[in-house]
Amino acid sequence: MEEKDVVVIGGGPAGYVAAIRVMQLGGKAALIEEESLGGTCIKRGCIPTSVLVRGTEFLEMPGKARDYGITLKVEEVNLARMMARKDTVVKTVTGGLDLLVKGNGVEVLKGRGRLLSAREVELRQEGGACTKISARQVIIATGSRIRKPLFTGAEESITTDQALDLKEIPRSVLIVGDGTVAFTFAAIFNRLGTQVTVITGSSRILPGVDQEIVTLFLREMKKSKVIVHPRSSIQSVVGNREGQKAVTAVIDGKETTLTCHYVLMAEEREANVDGLGLDAAGVKEGASGIAVNSRMETSVPGVFAAGDATGGRLAHVAFAEGKVAAENALGKDVRMDYAAIPKCLNTIPEIASVGLTEEEAVGQGHSLQIGRFPFAANGMATILGERSGLVKIIADSRYGQTLGVHMIGPQASNLIPESVLAMKVEATPQEIGSAIHIHPSLSEALMEAAMAVTHESIHSLPSG
């Protein structure tokens, strides 16, 4: 086989973007993938869970429609059809990726990749046949995998992959985890009528999210009757003949027994790097994955890594890292910038943010000015009947720098990109607030929060 400029191992967000970028720059790329293209996000993560979240949104429409004089009725919840819709969306997106990658001239090789050295990759195909591929540069983008639980009876629990293929709506589910995955599934099952309990090991949920936003989110969880137990852990799970699970847990320091129909493990994932031949190539690992520098280059020159294999957990960050890795593999000198990385939690309600939380900003010694604007005072949120939540902007009072933007409420993930761009170009809250926003629109909440930083918000009452 001819020598490739770049061999990419892994066809998820980081991998397929890297392969396409190599071709755009005039190189020859081979992409090794054992399964279909798309990785965790598209096949088992944010895409399928978003489909289910969208499906459950329709359950709230009859109540909202009634306010408009329209009578709607939910005849039934057909979980099989909901899951079929999820599968159709995943198949459509992955099919589109196949066309995209092949249309850019990338050679897709079916099988499992392993480094034999820094310049040679072994392709092991189904059936055991092996082929050696010579590569000038290598990009590792093998993603992440579910971390196995360690408690007694862990085999009685289900993974998030299995939860995406359930054949019945659970009567009750105990979810273990403190991040967006746990609370996305909590929201889905809660809307479907499942009794939901969430157990988290940390003292607070949603690590990395501004505490004020977390407080508002917990208030919404309480309204929805989702039970959340922080500082808790599972000791063991035992199943019985009736299909129920007896869960021994430590909650607030006390051992107790809970009963549920499913135990769903939604803990963090770990880098999928076993069997990659990292030692053979001399590639070093860090605490959470393959160690890389800002160029996405590993400890071995010419070997790059991107995405979840390096410890990241966001698909849109993997896109950017894959692009940076490909450009450097083709001789450019590009650095990955993590200063303005947006986060979106596909929970209900949605949470989105960029930049520092209030706690982080104080910890770094900033003197703060904070602007807030509630969606309850926004015209479009009122039109939509989704008035809960707010937009919060954190700025440095000395220099006027925008340090962070945090949102909880309707369509937060679609509202946050303006803030990402603002922070990227170092726009101040005053500049954000002076930009004319469409009326009525949810984006006005961002504008008003920006003006509130200097107490100039028009559509909120004066504070104090």
pTM across the whole model:
0.94
pLDDT of residue 1: 54
pLDDT of residue 312: 86
Kindly report, residue by residue over 32-76, the tens digit of the pLDDT. Answer: 999 999 999 999 999 999 999 999 999 999 999 999 999 999 999
Domain 349-452 fold is Enolase-like; domain 1 (3.30.390)
pLDDT of residue 426: 95
pLDDT of residue 411: 96
Q: Do residues 448 and 438 make contact, with C-beta atoms less than 8 angstroms apart?
A: no
Fold: same for 4-146+270-329 and 349-452: no
Nearest 10 degrees: CA dihedral of 21, 24, 29, 32?
40
Which of the residues in the chain have pLDDT under 50? none
pLDDT of residue 268: 73
pLDDT of residue 2: 64
What's the mean pLDDT when you consider all of the chain?
94
pLDDT of residue 462: 80
Domain covering 4-146+270-329 in this structure, CATH number: 3.50.50.60
Residue among 366, 437, 439, 455 flagged as catalytic: 439
**What kind of architecture, by CATH, is found in domain 154-267?**
3-Layer(bba) Sandwich (3.50)
Q: Do residues 445 and 418 make contact, with C-beta atoms less than 8 angstroms apart?
A: no
**Where do the structural domains in the chain lie, given as residue ranges?**
4-146+270-329, 154-267, 349-452
Decide if 439 is catalytic: yes
